[in-house]
Structure 1
Amino acid sequence: MADVTSNSAHIGAFDEPVSRTLECIGVRNEAPGVMTFRLRDPQADGTRRFAPGQAMRLTLFIDGVRHDRTFSIASSPLEGDVFELTIKAKADGTVTRWLHQTLREGMRIDARYPLGRFTLDASNGAPLALVSAGSGASPLMSMLRTLAQCDPHADIAWLHAARHAEDILFADELAALQTRMPNLKVSVWLSAPAPGWFGLRGRMTRGTLGAMTPDFGRRTVYCCGPAAFMQNIRQIHAAEGARRAAFHIEHFGPVVETPLAETATEDAGGVIHHATLGNRRFDVRVGETLLMAATRQQVVIPCGCASGLCGTCKVRRVSGDVTMHHAGGLSASEEAQGWILACSSRPSTDIEIAFR
């Protein structure tokens, strides 16, 4: 899971990102192909260092190659120096498969946290809808676990989409939480239910959402899942007359934003700078980041989030200048060494970049 898009505030204060070496203190199976890794920060002082909904970047060296991947934290920040990452192994995922096959209790792993601005704002006591698909439930579970401890009477609709019944994340815990949280209502949709399933089927639609949560349009929504899923939920929320500011999303996956100035580039003079990466030279238009320009011209820069969070698109600035605004994907020491994030950097001169 690394684009984090949100306009929310957070519950409590959280620190600036820090780089740490974490110790794995437990591993458990969560669902088929999904495992939860329990990590501890030996350097933490027990104070809360992230807000519910935030993420953590792991750095791994697999077969001599560095991999940076960002995952949502599923546990409550009230646990202090302990974090849980609930991760689905992807068939083509080098990092997720390594974690499932290799990371075990007693091992250590490099991390950077907290990351992202997808965070819970429970200050106004508004009714909430936590909407997820698949492993998108992880950051929302952090929110729910936190509310279970600090506001157990909160009005919450938990709305989740999965493929099969065995794929429903946190099913047992959700059932237990319902006994402690009288205003928590859980609804689950299955896209490929087995015989004997008498619950909701297919996609979340305006009709079924309205039936399960009649006041959906009046709830503050936190949504995480595939881009198409979140777009569908956003449209339903808007159709119910909701305020746009009451809808917050997070998703992880390759996302390339469209340049805001794309329609104005002709009048603005089009190409303003040139970038060089190895033996490839490409132009950069008005308003484009290096990643936007490279993607437009089929120059491959690996990307995880396009929002300055995950660090996957890190490149070294050999020459030239950029204006960069990121969301924690680089440490201060990395920036001092000349590293930049292609997704968050707009050239102010011609520029040369490199992967090493």
Structure 2
Amino acid sequence: MAKDRHYRHVDELKPWSDREHMLECVAWTPEAPDVMTFTFKPDRPGLWFRYRPGQFVTLELPVGPEPVLRTYTLSSSPSRPYTVAVTVKAQKGSIGTRWMFENLKPGMKIRAIGPLGDFSYVNHPGEKYLFISAGSGITPMMSMSRDMADREPDSDVNFIHCARSPDDIIFRWELEYKARYLPYFQTGFIVEEVKRSQLWTGLRGFIDKAKIALLAPDFLERTVFCCGPEPFMATVRESLEGAGFDMSRYHEETFQPVAPQLPVAVAETSGEAKPFTVSFSQAGKKATCEPGFTVLQAARSIGVRIGAACESGLCGTCRVMKLSGEVDMAHNGGILDEEIEEGYILACCSRPRGDVEIEA
């Protein structure tokens, strides 16, 4: 059967929706040791991707009998809306990413949830920018850099990236190319170690206030975006604060595992607090939910599966439709206002205020 190759402008297409469609892998590209970029298109023609540079998606990976959920920042740019890409690093002992390296090939389809996230220059604009990243934390910075290069090539960006060695600098050649052809785009690299066989004339060691000032002398005037391991970001924060930087212009992104949600203490009333009933319409089951517990905890107590990755209201993976009842939801940006208006909630951070019915 011939593929649909009819040319369409973007305004003739519909935005891809994670509620209805899957992603199809179209390419994989090695970037650095244990680092790979996977590129996807919508699983059906006539769609395009709409998101903000720096946002993330959660992929449902069929690793075993039960799929695992992993959250990755998009390294692609929304200025090129026909495909999306994630650039992932396989850490020691990783499960989902290793499965992608060994199994995910062009033609395979997987489910994605998102895009979501507030970490974007679109949400936090500035006159000049300083991007500081380490390791795979480079991905949101790359998405923003690519978007700026396409939309506003005269943007003033200073990009500092830290890596273990010169060979571990992800997107090194593309960044150096941008620094050559974009008038106000500068790059600076810091590596921890250099082997005798490697030619390197740049900075060595670990990031600190002196190296930031050397690579970006006007950093006090810039809006800073930082992403990397938590100890790395803590060092950057301390360096900026020590220099008198206005931290209202500092933004960071991290995905740290969280402990399972504990019940929230419920204020004492004159009467004894009674448990609520949480009904799951698709599963045909009902759970008893003590005050202060979440919808996700209620689902797990009776074996109803609701996918959850971050369990802190950030990734949006556990989004479900609330058919009736009221909940208290304290999320961290993992759900859009229009989705809340439609009746969606995040199960991991929604605590029933009474009997609730969920479409799950």
Pairwise TM-score range, normalised by the shorter structure: 0.7 to 0.9
Aligned residue type for 1:341: A
Report deviation, 1:92.
1.7
SS of residue matched to 1:153: coil
Corresponding residue for residue 229 of structure 1? 232
Corresponding residue for residue 71 of structure 1? 72
Corresponding residue for residue 345 of structure 1? 350
SS of residue matched to 1:198: coil
Change (3 A) 1:40 1:161: same
Q: Does 1:238 align with 2:241?
A: yes
Runs in 1 of length 4+ with deviation above 6 angstroms?
Answer: 272-275, 281-285, 288-292, 312-317, 329-333
Q: Does 1:41 align with 2:47?
A: no
Corresponding residue for residue 130 of structure 1? 131
Report deviation, 1:38.
0.8
Instruction: Tell me the distance in 2 between the aligned counterparts of 1:44 and 1:245.
Output: 43
SS of residue matched to 2:67: strand
Instruction: Tell me the distance in 1 between the aligned counterparts of 2:38 and 2:117.
Output: 20
SS of residue matched to 2:214: helix
Aligned residue type for 1:197: W
Structure 2 unaligned runs (5+)? 1-14, 277-287, 298-305
SS of residue matched to 2:40: strand
Report deviation, 1:166.
1.0
The RMSD of aligned alpha carbons is: 4.1
User: What is the CA deviation profile of residues 22-77 of structure 1, one whole-angstrom value per residue up to 9, with x for unaligned ones?
Assistant: 11111110101010001001447465510100111111222211211111110110
Identity of aligned residues (%): 34
Instruction: Tell me the distance in 2 between the aligned counterparts of 1:23 and 1:173.
Output: 25
Equivalences for 1:215-294 in 2 at 5 Å? Answer: 215-255=218-258
Change (3 A) 1:349 1:192: farther
SS of residue matched to 2:212: helix
> TM-score if structure 2 supplies the norm length?
0.73
Q: Does 1:18 align with 2:24?
A: no
Aligned residue type for 1:254: P
Pick aligned residue for 1:309 from 296, 305, 314? 314
Bigger Rg over Cα: 2
SS of residue matched to 2:210: helix
Instruction: Tell me the distance in 1 between the aligned counterparts of 2:16 and 2:29.
Output: 29
Aligned residue type for 1:77: P
Whether the 8 Å contact between 1:22 and 1:111 is mirrored in structure 2 is yes
SS of residue matched to 1:130: strand
Aligned residue type for 1:106: G
Instruction: Tell me the distance in 2 between the aligned counterparts of 1:217 and 1:274.
Output: 53
User: Higher relative contact order at CA 8 Å, sep ≥6: structure 1 or structure 2?
Assistant: 1
Report deviation, 1:231.
2.2
**What count of residue pairs does the alignment treat as equivalent?**
318
Instruction: Tell me the distance in 1 between the aligned counterparts of 2:112 and 2:296.
Output: 24
Whether the 8 Å contact between 2:138 and 2:161 is mirrored in structure 1 is yes
Change (3 A) 1:182 1:340: closer
Instruction: Tell me the distance in 1 between the aligned counterparts of 2:230 and 2:291.
Output: 27
